[in-house]
Amino acid sequence: MRTLFISGTDTGVGKTLTSGLMCRHLLNEGFKVAYFKPVQTGAQELDGKLISVDTEYVKSICSDELRVIEPVIFKLPASPHLAAAEEGVEIDIDALLQKAKDVDDVDYLIVEGAGGIAVPFNNSMDMAGFCQKLGAELILVCRANLGTLNHTFLALSYAESFQLEASIIISGCAENPDVIEADNLKMIEAKSGGRIIGTIPLLSGLDTEDFSGKNTPEINFNV
Ligand SMILES: Nc1ncnc2c1ncn2[C@@H]1O[C@H](COP(=O)(O)OP(=O)(O)OP(=O)(O)O)[C@@H](O)[C@H]1O
Ligand SMILES: [Mg+2]
């Protein structure tokens, strides 16, 4: 089984979109796939029950073949360490790792982090550390537009400090990139040692809190 940890340069950068498209791509290729969002913050209430918005979105664009590992859920839309503290608990990392280890009989386990790569689960564990502990391959989701070079280069060197060699997916690529965006892609390609494994176009009307399965084209990734 390959475990892919989908992290990003920031919150709202396209990790859930990428995770959903990745799961669907791999299912279409005939693989058995599981999706796991270890900690969901900013959970929404639906029919009196708290739901993981990221998990619902990924399910909404995949077939029923997708296996879903239930996340730990908190209400506050914040970093996991804070969302948990607000509910008077500390996140149990070993329990999360065990949930991932318990997954069997799939070819791919897609794990989506929370926020950016340095965001903490608690005082001693963040997303990069969790990826390392999982023994997962790191996929870093980056933006395409102005500002992405600083975020992406910092995230790559942070990953390296955990001996993680990130592959890159760039989300929100303009159909006709201007000079800045075209250069961003070239610079990220060079800095990452040519490890861009996919790009996702700028999708009009995309909202990952809409679970109707609309607005998501087929995208292939070079995993
Ligand atoms: N390729 C894209 N085209 C258009 N909009 C995008 C794209 N990628 C992300 N977005 C916008 O960003 C929003 C958040 O995307 P997504 O939920 O995938 O981010 P995330 O990194 O998973 O966030 P979180 O940190 O909350 O888990 C989307 O609802 C959409 O509005
Ligand atoms: Mg998400």
Probe target for ligand 1 pocket from 10, 16, 207, with the most ligand atoms within 8 Å of CB: 16
Per-residue tens of pLDDT for the chain, all 223 residues: 999 999 999 999 999 999 999 999 999 999 999 999 999 999 999 889 999 999 999 999 999 999 999 999 999 999 999 999 999 999 999 999 999 999 989 999 999 999 999 999 999 999 999 999 999 999 999 999 999 999 999 999 999 999 999 999 999 999 999 999 999 999 999 999 999 999 999 999 899 999 987 778 899 999 9
Measured in angstroms, how far is the CA atom of residue 20 from the centroid of ligand 2? 10
Measured in angstroms, how far is the CA atom of residue 25 from the centroid of ligand 1? 18
Query: Distance (Å, rounded) from C-alpha 223 to C-alpha 117?
Result: 20
Query: Distance (Å, rounded) from C-alpha 23 to C-alpha 79?
Result: 25
Q: Which domains does the chain have, with CATH numbers?
A: 2-201 (3.40.50.300)
Tell me which residues are annotated as active site.
Answer: 37
Contacts of 212 (CB under 8 A, 6+ apart): 60
Q: What is the residue-wise DSSP string for 153-185?
A: HHHHHHHHTTT---EEEEEEE-SS--HHHHHHH
Measured in angstroms, how far is the CA atom of residue 204 from the centroid of ligand 1? 12
Query: Distance (Å, rounded) from C-alpha 74 to C-alpha 191?
Result: 36
Q: Which residues pair with 49 in a beta bridge?
A: 46
Residue with tokens 């892609």: 185
Give yes or no for residue 19 CB within 6 A of ligand 1.
no
Give yes or no for residue 173 CB within 6 A of ligand 1.
no
Determine the 3-state secondary structure of 24 from DSSP: helix
Specify whether the CB–CB gap between 62 and 54 falls below 8 A: no
Neighbours of ion ligand 2 (CB under 5 A): 15-16, 54
